A and B are shown apart, each in its own frame.
Chain A
């Protein structure tokens, strides 16, 4: 089934959906410009703006539901951004509103959580300003009705991510990580920009509507090139291979940031881009195949990295990479996978935010210790954190009836149908997920205490635990709500289309059982290694494979060897060439002129008689020359 037409809309909450963006933007502006005067109420203003944005999103959602499914794509025109290239317009449709709800809801919870988490930070106001900025930019990204608007939001979230990763910028590691995230993302943006240029050159339009129309019309369209270029952008933002390296370093940011930006929302923008560009990708098998391959490669790579990390946040980051890999895989399959990709994106947003915030709660109680080898037995001192984290854990490994079970299983089943090799690799990934998540939970909450002497773990305040509780409820019920009866697929289909034949949910399919079995093996193996056995305080050297995973599959080493070092050489060479070569040429020309005139002026000796002699010689030469020429 093809996507529905976009209907121009004005009035109502949808007509005012720009408020969703404007409110947090206003919050950010007030907090940044207001300076210290706003310190007292900064966090409250930040929360209020995020919640208000959620309210607008929810009302818009309700209004949208009031329309018949075929009329649920509403375009809202705002103003002319670059005449002749693109207008600023919003597109409120099932796809974008799903994102809006996720962003503003999880965003609001994380804002609230941050009140407690950042309570002792002197720059808390700035933190909330950046968070508000992020929410606004992310909403621009998903609400824009054209690629230019998407790009504006795309870079905006990149900026917010940069500012927030480097929030504790006095730490050189944080500053470096922030810079790295931005630059690696820019590599992706390079692809995205050229993709957008190609779209414009092909259609002279950047709107989704125009692109869909043009694709339907056909002609000489470089769809594969556009698809691959957009994918490069998606890889950067979503930390997919080969641009994955920044995400693990991004964990230098405060934990609520990791939860909101680097787990629940921003990093999934790549999936959004692929799904939104469905008309382009569906016209090119090559690009779709590459998307699925990237997805599978990343889901395995992320999972493998997750198995070896002792830093709780980095283990979770590996897991995020891996889960986004699943979404990419589904998004690459086409309309059959879109609904699962987005559904998994939403449930993942809940359970991963839940776990990140849980990890934050643990760190909050443990003097910001992140090494899981210094944890152990925390379930007794942090009961709420433990329970909510455990729910998130069950959800992510696909424990029956929890969220991840439905959404991830949907992806694996669809992938299996699409291509068996990809399907089985996805199953393998699920098994590894079972292992590394169990390892994380066992090392943190079970076993003996391995705390540092000065650690006094305690449960976090209510302002931090309530968001955890709400998120964990989402982690329990959302999957079943979205997937059973194909509810989400039907809701989404006006925006992205759907396969003619709706998939049906089989609880006991071969694939499903195989997945469960592999996950169980993973869990048991993790219990054997980390649950029942003593966890050494210092990581053992481990095998070649462990080292491989610990070093992020040598991603950084590779970047360093292939890009950074040659880049440094090139820079040095260029500077040298500029000083000695280009400028040298200019200066030597100047020196040549200066030098020769210095020589020449030596002729002026000051002796009148030598001047007289030269006059005579000159005259003689002239006369001689005249004789010679005259006689010829």
Chain B
């Protein structure tokens, strides 16, 4: 069965359907229904995935522009599969969370939900594409629904943020386009199929240039320091749901691209640039965390924590050890849940009080204990508390990096201290202390909002204690990727018996 096309097709048809529904409430329910169907289909697909089978599974390949060797070709390996699952899990949650988000402005409510489904199809497509050109098309096309979601439904400075987001991403995309065309020409294979292009560029200097073309696009998308400044603006102005999809999924395309395209297509260049990328990542981890501490706006603060987290992911990708690579992939998934929860709950809070500024809150715990409790759990997941899934991934990234790059890993570990400071300080200023006059009558989470938060927290907890199902899927894919680089794990200084491990 062409699972991946079905997933995308259902989302697109759903998006069209939403625009036809005349009633706003019905449109929302319809959107939710469609996203749940997509989720169910994706799960049905995932259970048929065999981790140790072919590299790409559920593959489909049709000619699109035969003259240029462009195909509509999709397929997933373990890495893409978990990211697709992340996307389809987040969409229904975001739909439910955004129930009333689009109603404040004058724009059409239906369009907002329709855009969300369009975005879902593109998110699936971008992770599933096995044709480099198709990937590029999705990579750029994703910007459009997100541009409208920010620009039409966002906060006061939405157009500034949306344009900045669009231009910044387009700039990166253009560099990538040049590199894609150059890759096609230099490889001389007459095809854009990713598996056929692996290993075709032998010359190291060519690899370096092409690597940069791809890498800068991904670094902007991710975003990696110093290409990050569009994110706080975009995330702060976007409605909470759009911010979740932006930071939770769209940005993952950047780190996913590094792992999939940079490493496999340009292995020598990746190794050459590893010191640079690791330096940028470590700077990003520490810098993002420090700037987050100094923020006064809740959503900007969360955005900066993501800059720090993306540093961890890039670090894991470029450490090129099994643990770090698998950790980075898992990190992408967990970060989606964790930041998703944080953005959504902060969104609930902001919606109630009508202010994003931390200083406008205080003592919310007293009046809305469930809201505060879930906010704390989400916050703790952001600071990677053991027992929550983010810890597993951060630990794996750091352990894996430490095996090869001792000092960068040690510096990155200071992130755990800084994370405690930015999360707990924000929590203290908003939730603790005497209850501020303006929040005295804040209602606690209602049933719909609890249903939004519950699955996220459940996922964080379950994968915190039992990450094996995800890791079983990710491990073979990462090993496969690293073996094509090739990169090997350093051996231990002292070998101990296998049982003792």
Question: A residues touching B (Cβ–Cβ < 8 Å)?
Answer: 32, 35, 79-86, 148, 151-152, 154-156, 159, 162, 166, 169-172, 175-176, 179, 182-183, 186-187, 189-190, 193-194, 196-198, 200-207, 209-211, 213-214, 217-221, 570-572, 574-575, 578, 582-583, 586, 590
17 pairs, A vs B, C-beta closer than 8 Å: A80-B468, A82-B392, A82-B396, A187-B417, A196-B399, A197-B402, A197-B409, A203-B494, A204-B491, A217-B495, A218-B494, A219-B494, A571-B293, A571-B294, A578-B229, A578-B287, A590-B164
Please classify how large the interface on chain B is, using the bins under 10, 10 to 19, 20 to 34, 35 or more.
35 or more
Query: Which B residues, 470 to 501, have Cβ-Cβ distances below 8 Å to chain A?
Result: 471-472, 475, 490-497, 500-501
In the complex, the answer to whether A210 meets B496 with C-beta atoms within 8 Å is yes
In the complex, the answer to whether B494 meets A570 with C-beta atoms within 8 Å is no
Extra pairs beyond A179-B424, A209-B500, A221-B494 (16, CB < 8 Å): A35-B370, A81-B465, A82-B396, A152-B387, A159-B380, A166-B432, A169-B431, A169-B432, A187-B417, A193-B395, A194-B402, A201-B403, A210-B500, A214-B494, A217-B494, A582-B228
Query: Which B residues, 211 to 231, have Cβ-Cβ distances below 8 Å to chain A?
Result: 225-226, 228-230
Pick from A35, A162, A202, A572: contact of B493, CB under 8 Å: A202
Query: Which B residues, 373 to 390, have Cβ-Cβ distances below 8 Å to chain A?
Result: 373, 380, 385-387
In the complex, the answer to whether A84 meets B433 with C-beta atoms within 8 Å is no
Residues of A within 8 A of B425 (CB): 179
* Cα(A91)–Cα(B286), bound, Å: 37
In the complex, the answer to whether A83 meets B475 with C-beta atoms within 8 Å is yes
Residues of B within 8 A of A152 (CB): 386-387, 391
Q: What secondary structure prevails in chain A residues at the interface with B?
A: helix
* Cα(A169)–Cα(B429), bound, Å: 11
Given contacts A152-B386, A159-B380, A578-B291, contact A170 B409 (CB under 8 A): no
Residues of B within 8 A of A148 (CB): 395
Residues of B within 8 A of A194 (CB): 402, 409-410, 413
Query: Which B residues, 192 to 207, have Cβ-Cβ distances below 8 Å to chain A?
Result: none
In the complex, the answer to whether A172 meets B420 with C-beta atoms within 8 Å is no
In the complex, the answer to whether A155 meets B396 with C-beta atoms within 8 Å is no
In the complex, the answer to whether B496 meets A574 with C-beta atoms within 8 Å is no
Residue on A with the closest CB to B233? A583
In the complex, the answer to whether A172 meets B433 with C-beta atoms within 8 Å is yes
- Closest Cβ of chain A to B477, distance in Å, is 14
In the complex, the answer to whether B496 meets A204 with C-beta atoms within 8 Å is yes
- Closest Cβ of chain A to B445, distance in Å, is 12
* Cα(A253)–Cα(B469), bound, Å: 40
In the complex, the answer to whether B417 meets A572 with C-beta atoms within 8 Å is no
* Cα(A85)–Cα(B475), bound, Å: 12
In the complex, the answer to whether A213 meets B497 with C-beta atoms within 8 Å is yes
Residues of B within 8 A of A81 (CB): 392, 465-468
Question: B residues touching A (Cβ–Cβ < 8 Å)?
Answer: 164, 167-168, 225-226, 228-230, 287, 290-291, 293-295, 322-323, 363, 365-366, 370, 373, 380, 385-387, 391-392, 395-396, 398-399, 402-403, 406, 409-410, 413-414, 416-417, 420-421, 424-425, 428, 431-435, 465-468, 471-472, 475, 490-497, 500-501
Residues of B within 8 A of A218 (CB): 494
In the complex, the answer to whether A583 meets B229 with C-beta atoms within 8 Å is yes
In the complex, the answer to whether A205 meets B403 with C-beta atoms within 8 Å is no
In the complex, the answer to whether B323 meets A85 with C-beta atoms within 8 Å is yes
* Cα(A166)–Cα(B228), bound, Å: 35
- Closest Cβ of chain A to B36, distance in Å, is 24
* Cα(A82)–Cα(B397), bound, Å: 12
Pick from B322, B391, B399, B410: contact of A200, CB under 8 Å: B399
In the complex, the answer to whether A205 meets B496 with C-beta atoms within 8 Å is yes
* Cα(A201)–Cα(B500), bound, Å: 15
In the complex, the answer to whether A83 meets B472 with C-beta atoms within 8 Å is yes
Residues of A within 8 A of B385 (CB): 155, 159
Pick from A169, A201, A209: contact of B492, CB under 8 Å: A201
Most chain-B Cβ atoms within 10 A of its Cβ — which of A202, A575, A590?
A575
In the complex, the answer to whether B428 meets A179 with C-beta atoms within 8 Å is yes
Residues of B within 8 A of A162 (CB): 424
Most chain-B Cβ atoms within 10 A of its Cβ — which of A186, A209, A219, A578?
A578
- Closest Cβ of chain B to A152, distance in Å, is 4
Residues of B within 8 A of A221 (CB): 493-494
Most chain-B Cβ atoms within 10 A of its Cβ — which of A172, A570, A571, A572?
A571
Given contacts A170-B363, A182-B424, contact A204 B492 (CB under 8 A): yes
In the complex, the answer to whether B399 meets A85 with C-beta atoms within 8 Å is yes
In the complex, the answer to whether B501 meets A186 with C-beta atoms within 8 Å is no
Most chain-A Cβ atoms within 10 A of its Cβ — which of B392, B490, B491?
B392
Residue on A with the closest CB to B433? A172
Residues of B within 8 A of A176 (CB): 428
Residue on A with the closest CB to B286? A574
Residues of A within 8 A of B230 (CB): 586
Residues of B within 8 A of A211 (CB): 496
Most chain-A Cβ atoms within 10 A of its Cβ — which of B228, B294, B370?
B294
Pick from A85, A201, A217, A583: contact of B396, CB under 8 Å: A85
Most chain-A Cβ atoms within 10 A of its Cβ — which of B290, B387, B424, B500?
B500
In the complex, the answer to whether B294 meets A575 with C-beta atoms within 8 Å is yes
Residue on B with the closest CB to A179? B424
Residues of A within 8 A of B287 (CB): 574, 578
* Cα(A40)–Cα(B287), bound, Å: 48
* Cα(A85)–Cα(B492), bound, Å: 13
In the complex, the answer to whether B417 meets A190 with C-beta atoms within 8 Å is yes
Residues of A within 8 A of B293 (CB): 571
Residues of B within 8 A of A193 (CB): 395, 398, 413, 416
- Closest Cβ of chain B to A132, distance in Å, is 15
Residue on B with the closest CB to A206? B501
- Closest Cβ of chain B to A448, distance in Å, is 37
Given contacts A81-B467, A175-B433, A200-B403, contact A210 B501 (CB under 8 A): yes
* Cα(A342)–Cα(B454), bound, Å: 42
In the complex, the answer to whether B322 meets A84 with C-beta atoms within 8 Å is yes
In the complex, the answer to whether B294 meets A572 with C-beta atoms within 8 Å is yes
- Closest Cβ of chain A to B299, distance in Å, is 15
Residues of A within 8 A of B497 (CB): 210, 213
Residues of A within 8 A of B467 (CB): 81-82
Residues of A within 8 A of B392 (CB): 81-82
- Closest Cβ of chain B to A149, distance in Å, is 9
* Cα(A103)–Cα(B495), bound, Å: 36
- Closest Cβ of chain A to B326, distance in Å, is 8
Residues of A within 8 A of B435 (CB): 170
Given contacts A213-B500, A217-B496, A574-B290, contact A83 B471 (CB under 8 A): yes
* Cα(A171)–Cα(B403), bound, Å: 44
* Cα(A209)–Cα(B396), bound, Å: 21
In the complex, the answer to whether A183 meets B413 with C-beta atoms within 8 Å is no
* Cα(A262)–Cα(B392), bound, Å: 28
- Closest Cβ of chain B to A293, distance in Å, is 24
Given contacts A155-B386, A575-B291, A586-B229, contact A202 B475 (CB under 8 A): no
- Closest Cβ of chain A to B366, distance in Å, is 6
Residue on A with the closest CB to B491? A204
* Cα(A442)–Cα(B241), bound, Å: 62
Given contacts A197-B409, A213-B500, A574-B287, contact A170 B432 (CB under 8 A): yes
In the complex, the answer to whether A574 meets B291 with C-beta atoms within 8 Å is yes
- Closest Cβ of chain B to A153, distance in Å, is 8
Residues of A within 8 A of B406 (CB): 201
Residue on B with the closest CB to A80? B468
* Cα(A171)–Cα(B428), bound, Å: 11
In the complex, the answer to whether A214 meets B365 with C-beta atoms within 8 Å is no
In the complex, the answer to whether A197 meets B398 with C-beta atoms within 8 Å is yes
* Cα(A364)–Cα(B487), bound, Å: 64
- Closest Cβ of chain B to A260, distance in Å, is 20
* Cα(A586)–Cα(B165), bound, Å: 12
* Cα(A214)–Cα(B495), bound, Å: 7
* Cα(A156)–Cα(B380), bound, Å: 11
Residue on A with the closest CB to B167? A590
- Closest Cβ of chain B to A544, distance in Å, is 34
Most chain-B Cβ atoms within 10 A of its Cβ — which of A32, A84, A221?
A84
* Cα(A204)–Cα(B363), bound, Å: 46
Residue on B with the closest CB to A174? B432
